[in-house]
């Protein structure tokens, strides 16, 4: 004989609503943890921000920017710095003809600066 079951099953409730509501829920899911932690909203991401990010990373790998955690200069990692420069060169190649004047100058200037600093770091003792 089987015993009577107290299991009442389960109920499925679709709370998705429209696609717009799902987009709002996804956005809220990202923003809520930032707000709860008291974090400032993330900066706007554009081409200049991307280029500057690789620039600072390359300076870090060249030993010219301090470690953000310790505040101390880091030992140069020329292979990583070369990779950062190559990524920026790739961006330059793939975006040729699609950048406005300011973006083109920024990328050109950053690449020039990094190439010169890379040569200096390569010539330094131990480099």
Work out whether the CA dihedral 27, 28, 30, 35 comes out positive or negative: positive
- What six digits make up the tokens of 31? 């923003």
- What six digits make up the tokens of 107? 């990328």
Q: Taking all residues of the chain, what is their mean pLDDT, rounded to a whole number?
A: 82
Give 124 or 18, the one with higher predicted confidence.
Answer: 124
Residues 54 and 85: their CA atoms lie apart, in Å, by 8
Percentage of the residues of the chain whose pLDDT score is greater than 90? 53
Residue 47: predicted pLDDT = 95
Residue 51 near residue 91 (C-beta atoms within 8 A): yes
Phi, psi of 21 (to 5 degrees): -65, -40
Residue 77: predicted pLDDT = 95
């Amino acid at each position: 004989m089987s015993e009577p079951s107290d299991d009442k099953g389960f109920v499925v409730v679709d709370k998705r609503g429209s696609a717009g509501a799902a987009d709002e829920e996804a956005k809220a899911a990202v923003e809520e943890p930032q707000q709860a932690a008291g974090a400032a909203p993330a900066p706007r991401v554009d081409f200049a921000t991307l280029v500057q990010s690789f620039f600072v990373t390359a300076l870090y790998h060249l030993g010219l920017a301090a470690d953000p955690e310790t505040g101390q200069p880091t030992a140069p990692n020329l292979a990583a710095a070369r990779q950062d420069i190559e990524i920026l060169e790739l961006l330059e190649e793939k975006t040729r003809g699609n950048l406005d004047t300011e973006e083109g100058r920024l990328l050109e200037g950053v690449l020039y600066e990094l190439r010169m600093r890379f040569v200096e770091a390569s010539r330094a003792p131990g480099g």
